[in-house]
Structures are given as C-alpha cells and as structure tokens.
Structure 1
Amino acid sequence: MLAVMFAGQGSQEKGMGGEVFERYPGLVQFASDVLGYDLVSLCTEDPDHLLARTEYTQPALYAVNALRTFERVHREDRPADCYLGHSLGEYNALLAAGVFDFETGLRLVAKRGELMAAASDGGMTAVMDTPAERLLQILAEDGVDGVDIAGFNTGSQVVIAATPPVLTAAHDCLARREIRFVPLKVSAPFHSRYMEPARVRFAEFLTQFSFAEPATPVISNVTARPYEPGQTARMLAEQLVTPVRWTDSVRTLLDGDDGLEFDEIGGLALSHMVYKIKAGA
C-alpha cells in the first residue's frame, strides 16, 4: 500500500516549481490569470519578496504541487492507495483524489490564504518533548490562559497558537521550565479558536462549490480518518479552527497496513515526521 503526502505552508522556497513549469505552460498561464500575478516569477525569483506571505504562499504551493502531481501521473509512477496532506497540503490530496479540479482548488486556496492572512493578530510555536495534555497543565499552573493546541506533528512535537501577549507569556513559561520551543514564521494563530471569523467566511465561500467524493481515500486533518461522504465543505472549514492531527493520521494508516510505504510531494519534512512517528518519537 502506498500513501502519497503533500507538504503545506512552510515548505515553500525560492526556485520551487522550476522543474515543472515548462512542461505545463497552459496551466501555468491559466493559474497566473486566475491569481492576477506571474506565478513563475513569484516562485522562481520572488522579486518583491511576497512568497513568504500567506496570501501568496498558499496558492503558489498548491499550484506547484498540483503540477508535480500531474507530472507523477505522466511518469506513470505507482498509483497511490490513499492521500494525505499537512494543512494546506490537504487541498492537493483532494485534487489528486478527484474531489475538485485544478481551477476549483486554486480558487479555494486563494480565498483561504486571503482570509488567513487577514487574521494577523497572533502566532504559533512548536514545542518539543512535552505531551499536549502535560503542556496545557504546565501553562495553566503558570496562569497562562488562551493557548490552543494547533497541531500534533509527532509524538514529541506539538504546535501551539495564541495571540501575541499570550504567546509571549507561554514562551516565558516554557523557558523557565527549560522546555524546548521554536516560534514559527507565520503571521497568525492558525488552526485555533482565533480563526473562527475566517472559518465563518470560508464556510460561506464554500457554498459556491460542489465536490465529488474521493476516488481514492483522503485522510482528513480534522478527524485523522478518511473523508466521509458529503463532508468535504465542512471539513475544509473546520480545518481552520481545529488542530492538524498529523500524528493520528499517520497512525491510522500504519495501524491498517504494516507494509505501508510513504511518498512525499513538496519536500521531506513530512517524511521525517513519519519516520519519528513510526519510531514512537
């Protein structure tokens, strides 16, 4: 069994897509027309330093990883038995599974990026070697209130999200306890309660679209289980305010197949996480 994974925001880098743009000039031009800017210039040269901005990062990554997926099919690589993606990467998983077409996905992630970029009051931090339940207990003991668990990346790494003053208090608490943490380069507290206004607006936007059922199973970040019939719009909206359950998603697949193999499109970060999850780390 083969699971194909798609990286999300954070995996972008200047020069990305250079290996596929020339093979799909029509799609690249179409994407540029939809987005209103030169996709190739943004990804390969980033002359205005916009690639790191959420509203540009998300559609650019989606488009590049979509082209990489089409290239995978063109090469007649081994077909996937299931798909999964980390946050934004889930849109590429759904595209690969036939839930929507390239244009629909592009319009969805462009709107998603716009709404998430607008929610700029906060941030996220990766915390190492402290289980989520214990982490929340420690923060509560120090009077730090308002922190959400935004992601379960591996057994030894969770991600928290909060407003700036709360996150600063959390950092002070972790430093006093000598708990390792790394602030993430994001502009808002994604995957937390603070994204509720964006969720409401995105849910309304999603009503404009219809979705097919996955032709190949797709694991949802929200449930860590395969998408159920008729739940695509709800899962995509809920994804904005719920943690990315990456650890449980991978374990769901591992529990069903001891010989499961993973193939990552868009980087190696997810492959490293899978290795750690397999090792129980």
Structure 2
Amino acid sequence: MTLIHVFPGQGSHRPGIGRDLFPKFPHLVRQADSVLGRSLADLCLNASPRELTDTRNTQTAMYAVSALAYLDTVRETGLVPDVVAGHSLGEYVALFAAGTFDFLTGLEIVLRRGELMARAPEGGMAAVMGVDEGRIREILAERAPEVDVANLNAPDQTVVSGPREEIARLREVFGGEAGTVVPLNVGGAFHSRRMAGAAAEFGGFLAQYRLAPPRIEVISNVTALPYGGDDPATLLTRQITAPVRWSDSVAHLLERPGPEFREVGPGRVLTGLIARIKARHPALSATV
C-alpha cells in the first residue's frame, strides 16, 4: 500500500473550519495569532462568508487548519504518509508535512502569498464541465483570449481564470459545448497571467528563506511529478501563474503500488475529483 495524503485548496473554505482542532493545539494557535495579528479561531469561526472569501484570509485559514488536521491525523493513526500532494494552497500544507518548513514559517509565507495575490488585478474563476482541455483552449483562444486555463482538476472538469467581466460571459462563450459553467467563490484570477506581478514579488520574498528538501515525497502542482532536485522556492513561485495539474498528479500517483488516498483538511472536494480521475484512468477503468 502507498499511503497518500492530499490537502485541499481555497475552494474548501467555509465558516467554522478548525472548530475541533484549535483546542488540541493551543501552542500552535497562539503562534498563528502572533503571525496574523488577530485570532485564528475568531477568523475561522466567526468571520462572515464574505470576509473568509478574501484570499488574504482564506489562504491563512486553510493552511493553518489543514496543517493542524495533518498533525492530528498522524497523532491519531500513528501513520506517516508515503507521499503528499496539495491543490494550489494545499501544496504548502504538503510541504509542511514533508518538513520543508515548520508550521510558523509556512504561515508567514502563506500570509505574504495571500497579500500579494489580493493586490493583483481583479478577476474571477469558473469551472467548465464536459469539455476536454484541448477544446477549452481552442475556444478561449478564439472567443475569450484574456482567459487562461487555471486548474486541470479532472478529465471532465477544468477551471479557467481571467477578468471578472470575461468570466461572467463564459456560458455564452462556450454555448452548447459545455455541460455546465459554474463561477467559483474565490477572490481573484488565480493561476493566470494576472498573477504575474504577484509571482515576481513572491519569488523575491521567498529568497530570504532556506527551504529544506522534502523528507516525504511531494508532488508539484506545476510538473505533476515529485519535487526531486527542484528548488521548492522556484516551483512555488511558478505555481502562482501556472495551471494546477491535479488530474495529471493523481494519474501519476495511481501508478503507485496500492495507492490509498486520504484527504486531510476541510471538505471532501479532492476526494470527489480523485474518484472521477480514477474512473477515467486506463489501468483502473475495467474495475471502477
């Protein structure tokens, strides 16, 4: 068996996350409070949905809660995963789990990431269902050239990112070709060219840290492969503008002996995506 922990991104946030975890890790919660300059518990438990959707708050809340959930899971099960992966922001939790940085350093980095991404030009994201990636790219190039492919979530689900007015007209852009186009409750045009300025500044910020090589195998969103000899700072900087190759990452992991996925953190979005990817995976199609 290959035990794989996966960590969700911003789409899994909701008021009330972390309620059961904060009493278990009071020292880490106090550290988080000092970094954030406010109460982590108050942010997660009492903030309005609108406030929590602000990417500066979403990223720090999701990182902290998912990191605590990982510590709690390992403590309860006694099992350390063989491989870890995270979706977008979740990749930072994966790197925390792999020892690239400690809890507090990860929170500092994520806080700065959220601040920079919040300052990027306004925009939005939408999930496009029922159209393959190649056709989506063709349609966008012809009819909405300012919109980028942002997340390759599953063979039948791709998230696109761009100016808010362009996202608002995507149903018209895709016409009858898409099964569904669903706007996402996020605070910006993440993983798109609109984040280029944030990525450049973030790369400079990361240069002040010494990031350790992962002690557990981590799958990169950018390459859909293990980190290997790549500098974590380089991949994390590229990740801000590059598509999240989640479908390819899971397909890679499905080649491992007896892969067992466990989603750690709020929600079960990734569990659903993994099931859809498995259903399309050639090696498993006869048994799913």
Q: Same fold (TM over 0.5)?
A: yes
The alpha-carbon deviation at position 230 of structure 1 amounts to 4.4
Q: State the partner residue of 1:70.
A: 71
Q: Distance in 1 between matches of 2:19 and 2:160?
A: 34
1:127 lines up with 2:128 in the alignment = yes
Q: 1:220–1:226: 8 Å Cα contact kept in structure 2?
A: yes
Q: How does 1:132-147 map to 2 (within 5 A)?
A: 132-141=133-142, 143-147=143-147
Q: Is 2:9 the partner of 1:5?
A: no
Structure 2 match to 1:160: 160
Aligned length: 279
Q: Mark the runs of 5 or more structure 1 residues left unpaired by the alignment.
A: none
- Between 81-90 and 177-186, report the one with greater CA deviation: 177-186
Give the 3-state SS of the residue equivalent to 2:175 in structure 1: helix
Q: Measure the CA separation in 2 of the matches of 1:171 and 1:120.
A: 23
Q: State the identity %.
A: 43
Please say if residues 199 and 241 of structure 2, whose CA atoms lie closer than 8 Å, have aligned partners that are also in contact: yes
User: Kindly tell me: are residues 139 and 47 of structure 1, through their superposed partners in 2, closer, same or farther at Cα, counting changes over 3 Å?
Assistant: closer
Residues 120, 187 of structure 1: 8 Å contact kept = no
Q: CA deviation at 1:245?
A: 0.2
1:194: how far off?
1.3
One-letter code aligned to 1:70: L
Deviates more, 1:46-55 or 1:152-161: 46-55
The residue matched to 1:50 in structure 2 has which SS? helix
Structure 2 residue runs without a partner (length 5+): 282-288
Q: Which residue of 2 aligns with 1:24?
A: 25
Q: Which amino acid aligns with 2:272?
A: H
Runs of 4+ in 1 over 3 A off after TM superposition: 168-171, 175-179
Tell me which amino acid in the other structure corresponds to 1:109.
Answer: V
Match of 2:94 in 1: 93
Opposite residue 13 of structure 2, the aligned amino acid is Q
Offset of 1:228 from its aligned partner?
2.0
With the length of structure 1 as denominator, give the TM-score of the two structures: 0.94
Structure 1 residue 53: deviation in Å?
1.0
* Inter-partner Cα distance in structure 2 for 1:169 and 1:268: 29
Corresponding position of 1:107: 108
Q: CA deviation at 1:131?
A: 0.7
1:221-240 maps to which residues of 2 (within 5 A)? 221-240=221-240
Given the superposition, is the C-alpha separation of residues 210 and 113 from structure 1 closer, same or farther in structure 2, using an over 3 Å criterion?
A: same
Point out the more displaced range, 264-273 or 175-184. Answer: 175-184
2:81 partner SS: coil
